[in-house]
Amino acid sequence: MTRTATSFVLRAGRELEKLAEPNIGGAIYGAPIAANGVLFVNSVSELFALSR
């Protein structure tokens, strides 16, 4: 997350590839967690589950 509150989802690998730029609508609290093809991200008041 940048200081402008923009978050990015990047593909793991030698070269950076931006997969998504989700609008979380605020600061992210805690580390994003990936499980079973879903990326879980929490804000101060919501939990987001991002998948394809």
Residue 43 maps to a domain = yes
19 or 5: which carries more pLDDT confidence? 19
pTM for this entry: 0.62
Q: Which domain holds residue 46?
A: 25-52
pLDDT band at 49 (very low <50, low <70, confident <90, very high): very high
pLDDT band at 20 (very low <50, low <70, confident <90, very high): confident
Total structural domains within the chain = 1
The residues that bridge with 5 in the sheet, in sequence order, are none
Q: Is the pLDDT of residue 4 over 60?
A: no
Residue 4 maps to a domain = no
Q: Is the dihedral of CA 50, 31, 11, 37 positive or negative?
A: negative
Q: What is the mean pLDDT of residues 22-40?
A: 86
- Nearest alpha-carbon partner for 41 in 26, 17, 15, 4: 26
